[in-house]
Amino acid sequence: MKVIIVGGVAGGATAAARIRRLDETAEILVFERSGYVSYANCGLPYYIGGIIRDRKELTLQTPESFRARFNVDVRVHHEVTAIHPQNQTVTVRDLESGRVFEETYDRLLLSPGARPVVPELPGRELDGIFSLRTVEDTFRIREYVDQHRPSSAVLVGGGYIGLEMAENLTELGIAVTVVQRPRQVMSPLDYDMACQVHSLLRRHGVSLRLGSSVTGFASSGGKLQVLLRDEEPVSGDMVLLAVGVAPDTDLARNAGLRLGLKGSIAVNERMETSQPGIYAVGDAVEVTHSVTGQKALISLAGPANRQGRIAADNICGGHSVYPGSQGSSVLRLFEMTIATTGINEKAAQAAGLDYDRVLLSSASHARYYPGARNMTIKVLFEKASGRILGAQILGGDGADKRIDVLATAIRAGMTADDLTELDLAYAPPYSSAKDPVNMAGYVIQNVLTGKVRQFHWDQVDTLPRDGSVTLLDVRTPREFEAGHMDGFINIPLDSLRERLGEIPLDKPVYVTCQVGLRSYIACRILSQHGYDCQSLSGGYGFWAAVTQERCVSQAAPFPCGMEKS
């Protein structure tokens, strides 16, 4: 059997190694148009920032090591320019010599990945404007930084690559501005969670231009100008375009393979394309989202590796299936860990799911043990069943651990009840006796069973201030004096029972505290005394973080709706 693999990195390289382990006699050829067949894609920004110092550390396998260990013929700087399914051949161009030739195959695996979206805008060809996708791109950017010593940079795009580059360039002492057309960075996050990331970036000196559309580029006074629609341009010594990626599927399209979402390659659960004998994996393929069952594009290394293994099994006569992706990801940004899994609110709404969400602030480990840091955890769940749909976590140590537990729970179809029953490891340096994942289950249980009714940060401004409801803040007087929401009165939780007479029994009560725990306790007290009570999910702290960020972007002097004494 002769197998040709188009493209290396995660999917193609994994498939090549797996095929060899399953079939010692197969002839395996890998054609890779770049100079590197297997490299640490996610490590590229850290080489530019100097955290990874040796460029050799970026290379996981070379053509020589692949040949030695797996007896795989890897040809870099070779581009497959056409597929001829009827003849089972491909046309290949040697990019160094210019020679064009054809190769036959018995099985063909496409792993072309995705290409950076490079807007066709005026001035795009100017020196000092880069995109980052390959090792060669990385070396060009690093060389430019070393030679020109830029003092400022403009990053167009606020996704994974854009934010990793923002951190690394900032650590090099370069003033960074991030320009983003959406009004938030990190699209897997909901807006309310992204607001904390905005605040973090600004604390580290990163300027944000959110909701801004780039119309072109120019050069003026030795600086690059990023031109914006209806706004003043942003200038910098260098520009990085990180506006996203698109499936690289020209080969598949020209070969007549069936395409899917946004021009991606359509495959079945065995990673087979519409053409017999041709498989496809990685960032170029359409997948099924394991939470919604809808088609999706998920460009992550983990899914690409798994797909490469599954395709290899089936190429070698097996029957492996890919159950879908749920988009679990994690990013370190300065001192914050940003972690997501499953779907966010926008995706839940698009899928027509009847969902709700909870917010909680939990310590990374026992509070009495030194070094505990709070994590903000947001969990989406299905109202009818309690099934966990998605989670987002912002924090420090331990955030990655909790997102992995929640990712496993989502994959297993677990409900809130199941989260409460998880038997998770505990010791003071690592967790609490009630792990944050257990706590998320308890909070959802309370909502589903009616033990507490909740309202959310985006409903605060809609609450009447005409006396028809009671707005109650149960924090301490000192906390209340430091800042509170308009119209709320202060009765500390510990004196609530003695002061019930100050709260009219015939009016709904909306309660807040700092993070949501004390307001929950207050609502349990009030509801058992006959009050109609709701608790603010996430508390004043979360509301203030979101509204403050919203007002910063509007140049307001302090958080909207906040009163200061």
Of 235, 32, 243, 19, give the one whose Cα is nearest residue 130. 243
pLDDT of residue 550: 64
Burial 517-532 (b: 16+ CB within 10 A, else e): bbbbbbbebbbeeebb
Q: Is the pLDDT of residue 216 over 90?
A: yes
The average pLDDT across 503-527 equals 97
Phi first, then psi, for residue 260 (nearest 5°) are -125, -140
Q: Is 247 exposed, middle or buried (0-12, 13-18, 19+ CB in 10 A)?
A: buried
Q: Which helix (H) or strand (E) holds 87?
A: none
Q: Grade residue 553 by pLDDT with cuts at 50, 70 and 90.
A: low
- Other Cβ atoms within 10 Å of 561 Cβ, number: 15
Q: Is the pLDDT of residue 223 over 80?
A: yes
Q: Point out the catalytic residue in the list 42, 195, 513, 560.
A: 42
Q: Cα angle vertex 414, ends 408, 415, to 5°?
A: 135
* For the chain, percent of residues with pLDDT exceeding 90: 86
Of the CA atoms within 13 Å of residue 215, those in its CB half-sphere come to 8
d(CA 83, CA 103): 10
**Start-to-end C-alpha separation, the chain:** 78
pLDDT of residue 555: 41
pLDDT of residue 544: 94
Quote the mean pLDDT of the chain: 93
Q: Which helix (H) or strand (E) holds 337?
A: strand 336-342
The average pLDDT across 387-405 equals 97
Q: Is the pLDDT of residue 561 over 60?
A: no
d(CA 471, CA 461): 12
The average pLDDT across 436-440 equals 97
Concatenating the DSSP letter of every residue in 276-303 gives: TTEEE-GGGB-EEBTTT-SEE----HHH
Q: What is the pLDDT of residues 124-158, one digit of tens each?
A: 999 999 998 888 899 999 999 999 999 999 999 99
* Catalytic residue check, 533: no
The average pLDDT across 497-507 equals 97
pLDDT of residue 115: 86
Phi first, then psi, for residue 180 (nearest 5°) are -140, 125
Three-state DSSP at 348 gives helix
> Strand order of the sheet with strand 238-241?
129-131, 238-241, 152-156, 175-180, 207-210
Q: Which residues partner with 61 through β-bridges?
A: 38
Q: Is 168 exposed, middle or buried (0-12, 13-18, 19+ CB in 10 A)?
A: buried
User: At which residue do the structure tokens 């031109």 appear?
Assistant: 227
pTM over 0.85: yes
Single-letter amino acid code for the residue at 89:
T
- Other Cβ atoms within 10 Å of 222 Cβ, number: 7
pLDDT of residue 133: 84
Phi first, then psi, for residue 294 (nearest 5°) are -95, 160
Q: Is the pLDDT of residue 559 over 50?
A: no
Inter-CA distances, 193 with 189, 203, 242, 437, Å:
6, 16, 21, 18
Inter-CA distances, 56 with 34, 43, 65, 402, Å:
16, 12, 13, 33
- How far out from the chain centre does Cα 490 lie? 38
Instruction: With both helix axes pointing from N to C terminus, report the angle between 191-203 and 539-552 in degrees, rounded to the nearest 10.
Output: 70
Based on C-alpha coordinates, what's the Rg of the chain?
Answer: 27
pLDDT of residue 564: 45
96 secondary structure, DSSP code: T
Q: Grade residue 54 by pLDDT with cuts at 50, 70 and 90.
A: confident
Q: Grade residue 551 by pLDDT with cuts at 50, 70 and 90.
A: low
Q: Is the pLDDT of residue 524 over 50?
A: yes
d(CA 146, CA 557): 40
Q: What is the pLDDT of residues 294-341, one digit of tens each?
A: 999 998 889 999 999 999 999 999 999 999 999 999 999 999 999 999
Q: Cα angle vertex 87, ends 81, 89, to 5°?
A: 35
Phi first, then psi, for residue 541 (nearest 5°) are -60, -45
Q: What is the pLDDT of residues 98-120, one digit of tens each?
A: 999 999 999 999 999 988 888 88
Asked if 155 and 165 count as a contact pair (C-beta separation under 8 A), the reply is yes
